[in-house]
Amino acid sequence: MRNILLFLLFISFANSANLLTHNIYERTDRVDIMLSFDSPYEGKITQKKGKNITTLMLSDLSYDKLIEKNINSNILQAIAIEPKKDNIHVILKSKNNIAVIASKTVDGFGLRIRTKPVRMSQQNKTSITKSNSTKTPLSTKPSEDLVDGRYLSVILLLSVMILFMIWAKKRVIKKSEKIKSQKSWLFKSDNKQQTSGEVNVVHQKQIDSSNSVVLLEFQDKKYLVMTGSSNLLLEKFSKGDIKDDSDFQKAFEDNRKKLDEYLQIQKEEETAQDDYRSKLEKY
C-alpha cells in the first residue's frame, strides 16, 4: 500500500507544471501579469473575491519562492505569488473593484492574468457581495482580443521559420550522406581503416537527464566525449592510458571544469530563448 501511494504521488508530481517566470505590464486601462511554465499548464483555476482582495488558485502548479510586489497603478496596488503545496495562490490587492480574466497561450506554456477596473451599479454590487465567499471557476480559454494583427504576424513568422528549418534539415542530411563514408566529426580514418575499425563504449557516466560522458575506444585510441543534446570531444588518450574505473573517474574530474562551462553556456542559451518567447507572447 505504501509503494502504491508513493507511485501515485510521483505521478501527480510528474504531471504538474512548474512556474518559471512572472512579468507585470502596466497600462492606463489595465494591468497584465504574465506567467510562464516549464510545460503546458493543464491545471484548474478558481477565483475567490474578498474586500479589496482577489485570489486566484492555480492547481497542479509548483513554485519554491514567495513573491510580493507593490504596483504603482490606480487599478492594482499589490500582487503576491504564494506557493501552497502543489498549488499556487496569486493574490491581487486593489482599492476598487476589478475584473480578472485569465487566458492561456495557444501552446499552454504561458498564462496572462488581466485586471481591469469595474464600474458597477448598486444591483451588481449586491450580487457580487452575496458570492464573495464562494470559489468560481475561471475560464482559461484564449481571449478573442489575442487574435489580432500582431498575433497573426507572429504565427506567420513562426510558420516561415519552421519551413526554413525543414528545408535546412533536408539539405544537411543530403550533404552528410555524401561525406559519411569519408570523414567523421570525431574519428579520422582512411579507406583501409574503415573496413576494420569498430567503436566500443568502454565507460559511461550520466551527467544529467540529457547528457552523458562516454569513453570510446576506436582502433589504438580512446576518446572522452560528452554526448546527448550536443556532442563535445573532451580529451583523447592512447589505448593504454585508461585501464579501469578509477582512471576513467580521474579523467572525468580533470574535465569537469570544461563540462560545467559548456553546460552553463547551453543553459544561458535556453534561458535567452525562453525570454524571447515570453516577449513574443506579450505582443
Are residues 233 and 157 located together in one domain of the fold? Answer: no
Q: Say which residue, 10 or 161, is predicted with more confidence.
A: 161
Contact (Cβ atoms closer than 8 angstroms) between residue 169 and residue 221: no
From the list 203, 197, 186, 187, the residue with the least C-alpha distance to 242 is 203
Question: Do 159 and 216 have their domain in common?
Answer: no
Q: Tell whether the model's pLDDT for residue 122 goes beyond 50.
A: no
Does 52 lie in the same domain as 9? yes
Residues 72 and 125 in one domain: yes
pLDDT over 60 (residue 138): no
274 shares a domain with 232: yes
Provide the number of structural domains found in the chain.
3
Total Cβ atoms within 10 A of residue 101: 16
Tell me, yes or no, whether 52 and 89 share the same domain.
yes
Could you tell me the sign of the dihedral formed by the alpha carbons of 248, 253, 258, 262, in that order? positive
Q: At what angle do helices 245-254 and 256-282 cross, to 10 degrees?
A: 50
Q: Which residues, 6+ apart, have CB-to-CB distance to 2 below 8 Å?
A: none
Phi first, then psi: what are they for 231, rounded to 5°? -110, 135
C-alpha cell read off for 92: 491581487
Label residue 264 by pLDDT band (50, 70, 90). confident
Residues 52 and 79 grouped into a single domain:
yes
Same domain, yes or no: 58 and 75: yes
Decide if 283 is inside a domain.
no
Domain co-membership, 210 together with 168: no
- Would residue 219 count as lying in a domain? yes
Q: Among the residues of 60-142, which ranges form H helices?
A: 122-130
Domain region containing 157: 148-177
Please state, in angstroms and rounded to a whole number, the distance separating the CA atoms of residues 264 and 83: 28
Q: Give the percent of the chain with pLDDT over 90.
A: 19
Do residue 170 and residue 128 come from a single domain? no
Residues 6+ apart with CB under 8 A from 80: 66, 67, 68, 69, 89, 90, 91, 93
Verify that 155 and 272 share a domain, yes or no.
no
Q: For residue 131, is pLDDT > 50?
A: no
Last residue of a domain, one of 177, 193, 222: 177
